[in-house]
Amino acid sequence: MQFWNVLTEILILLAGALVLGAVFEHFKQSAILGYLLAGLLLGPGAMGWVHGDEFVYAIAELGVSLLLFVIGLEFSLRQLLRVGAVGLGGGALQVVVTGVLGAWAARGLGLGWPEAVAIGAIVSLSSTACVLRVLADRAEMDSVTGRTALGVLLLQDMAVVPLVLLVTMLGGEPTVSAIAWGMGQSVLLIAGLALALFVVSKVLLPRVMRDPTLTRNRELAILLAVVLALGSAWLAHRFGLSPAIGAFIAGILLAESPFAVQIRADVGALRALFVTLFFTSVGMLGDPAWIAENWVLIAGTVGLILVGKTLVTTVVVRMFASKLRHAAGVGLSLAQVGEFSFVLATVAYADGGGVLGDQTFKLFVSVTLVTLFMTPYLVASGPGFGRLLQAVARGVGLSKTDAVEPQAEGSSLAGHIIVIGFGPAAQRMYAKMFRRHGSVLVVDLNPRNLTLARGMGLNVQVGDATNPELIGHLSVPRAAIVVVTIPDHRAAVTVVRHVRAIAPDVPLIVRSRYHSFADDIQRAGASVTVDEEDWIGRRLGLEVNRLLRRVAQDEKAEAGEGV
């Protein structure tokens, strides 16, 4: 019965998230706001339809882990290293400076040092799940601001473990040596986890993914993707680390493989489910009545945190040679209090027996919720705020004119030919037409076809092109031509529709195995439909005419000899 009670609460949360998320999307707002509001209204602080359960919160934590896993698949190690200095140095400095200033401000308001330090740790973290989700929705993950924000957020996530250790020790007799030992242990565990996942991604996974069994049964490939995503999160949790960090490391390592896009597509639905539960469970922590009674205090605290964190993050990121407009954009985007702050606040509160008092705990839970509600607007306003600050600084002589912005790494894939399916027909097509073209991307699920394409020097991508998420990661709008050679007409129509949804003008050549399906493919949006039966009929006609001419010539020759 306990299981069915939990399932009932999950169903109620998802239904509320569906309704309110759709309402916010209808009014051109982020669906995340609807998810948070659903949790706030349905939770124990309001209607009480959902009381909350450790199982629900565990699923929510998996949501963050899957989000980080998919984000990791978007980035290669090479891309991540490009923001290494800003991410590691800037992120660490941001956590320390924000924590110290937060503790100093709390101490100035009359709180004791243990409580003040706990508050500093709480406000130092930003929302990885919310910021990255909004950046992904706005297609800004590969922008300068997006990459820099990701670097800072990842360092913050790594800092969760030592911060939890610090907050835990505040209730006892913390020593410098104990804190240093705990932090060193965390670093060693993260390094060991990264090494273990590296071995899996480079040695075991390529052999498993090339097994023909996975090609014949798509369910097995999806199960493998889920095992990789959830397994990496479990492994990190088993070592006492943040599951999100483990999932991200696994995603980063898998991003170098040609299976990254397909794995991302396979776990997409699962990620959407868990991430939605995460945001609704965060909303459940709020108490609408307490917020209404103390809105002036909450508003003042929110304003102080937003201004302070924006200023600190902007200055810190600017110190690492980032342009002022990008630093300011990152600063505003990361001005909220993050979801992992709930973890710190819960540890510091400890059901009323910790260093945080009851009213302080409620205040920071409410403040965190309010800033999370504001996050979509903060992220959306980041670029404009950065440009405004850059213009003001230039006007008073504090900033030089910026140089031309380098292109994002992901934008280098352009003018390429995408070949979906690399069977015998596509292989002969390439031999006839594409030998002079320098950039051809082959998408297929058959390991034998991909090995052949790789041997020809072509770029390959393992994946099922009927999945819209995979199509979205092939840079289709910048392609020169898309060629669909798969024989299944239903799959071909699906691929054509996905391509046309994101690239209405790209030339699209599609194979139709049977004449009766050619019109369906054409209506779906194909620029050119190659009708196999039509072309075979023409070729048969040519061959028949050639043979008839030969027969006629032979008969004529025989008649001449008879004369």
Q: What are phi and psi of 427, to 5 degrees?
A: -65, -40
The set of residues, in sequence order, having a beta carbon less than 8 Å from that of 55 and lying 6+ positions away, is: 6
**Three-state DSSP class for residue 297:** helix
As a dihedral over the C-alpha atoms of residue 423, residue 426, residue 429, residue 434, rounded to 10 degrees, the angle is -120
d(Cα 229, Cα 251) in Å, to the nearest integer? Answer: 8
Beta strands in 322-428 (DSSP E): 417-420
pLDDT value, residue 139: 63
Q: Which of 180-194, 327-341, 381-395 has the highest mean pLDDT?
A: 327-341
H or E element in which residue 108 lies: helix 91-108
Structure-block tokens of residue 505: 């003008």
pLDDT value, residue 398: 58
Share of the chain above pLDDT 90, in %: 17
What amino acid occupies position 257? S
Q: What are phi and psi of 528, to 5 degrees?
A: -135, 130
d(Cα 132, Cα 253) in Å, to the nearest integer? Answer: 19
Q: Which domains does the chain have, with CATH numbers?
A: 2-395 (1.20.1530.20), 413-539 (3.40.50.720)
Structure-block tokens of residue 207: 């052999």
d(Cα 192, Cα 184) in Å, to the nearest integer? Answer: 12
Higher-confidence residue of 414 and 189: namely 189
| Lowest-pLDDT choice from 118-122, 154-158, 264-268 | 264-268
The set of residues, in sequence order, having a beta carbon less than 8 Å from that of 127 and lying 6+ positions away, is: 336, 337, 338, 339, 371, 372, 375
pLDDT value, residue 401: 45
d(Cα 149, Cα 317) in Å, to the nearest integer? Answer: 9
Write b or e for each residue in 22-32: b if 16 or more Cβ atoms lie within 10 A of its Cβ, otherwise e: eebeeeeebbb
As a dihedral over the C-alpha atoms of residue 506, residue 509, residue 514, residue 518, rounded to 10 degrees, the angle is 40
For residue range 11-24, list pLDDT tens digits in order. 888 999 999 989 98
d(Cα 84, Cα 161) in Å, to the nearest integer? Answer: 20
Higher-confidence residue of 40 and 214: namely 40
Q: Which of 32-46, 201-215, 350-364 has the highest mean pLDDT?
A: 32-46
The set of residues, in sequence order, having a beta carbon less than 8 Å from that of 133 and lying 6+ positions away, is: 32, 67, 275
Q: Quote the longest CA-to-CA distance of the chain.
A: 126
For residue range 535-547, list pLDDT tens digits in order. 888 888 998 998 9
pLDDT value, residue 455: 84
pLDDT (mean) for 338-350: 79
Q: Contact 458/440 with Cβ under 8 angstroms?
A: yes
**Three-state DSSP class for residue 529:** strand
Tell which residue, 354, 169, 373, 153, has the closest CA to residue 244: 153
For the chain, state the CA radius of gyration.
Answer: 29
pLDDT value, residue 298: 93
For residue range 348-395, list pLDDT tens digits in order. 886 555 788 888 888 988 998 899 889 989 998 988 888 888 888 877
Tell which residue, 375, 399, 248, 410, has the closest CA to residue 326: 399
Q: Give the long-range contacts of residues 357-364, CB within 8 A, separation 24 or more.
A: 357/115, 360/111, 360/115, 360/119, 362/287, 362/290, 362/294, 363/294, 363/297, 363/298, 363/301, 364/119, 364/122, 364/123, 364/337
Per DSSP, what are the bridge partners of residue 482?
Answer: 418, 508
Neighbours of 408 (CB within 10 A): 15
Per DSSP, what are the bridge partners of residue 419?
Answer: 442, 483
Higher-confidence residue of 557 and 305: namely 305
Cα distances from 348 to residues 53, 56, 167, 282, 387, in angstroms, run: 20, 21, 6, 17, 39
| Lowest-pLDDT choice from 97-106, 182-191, 510-519 | 182-191
Tell which residue, 429, 400, 402, has the closest CA to residue 417: 429
Average pLDDT of the chain, as a whole number: 80
The set of residues, in sequence order, having a beta carbon less than 8 Å from that of 353 and lying 6+ positions away, is: none
Higher-confidence residue of 216 and 173: namely 216
Write b or e for each residue in 445-480: b if 16 or more Cβ atoms lie within 10 A of its Cβ, otherwise e: bbeebbebbeeeebbbbbbbbbbbbbbbbbbbeebe
Structure-block tokens of residue 556: 């004529």
d(Cα 328, Cα 332) in Å, to the nearest integer? Answer: 6
Q: Contact 216/170 with Cβ under 8 angstroms?
A: no
Q: Which of 43-52, 222-231, 534-543 has the highest mean pLDDT?
A: 534-543
d(Cα 509, Cα 86) in Å, to the nearest integer? Answer: 44
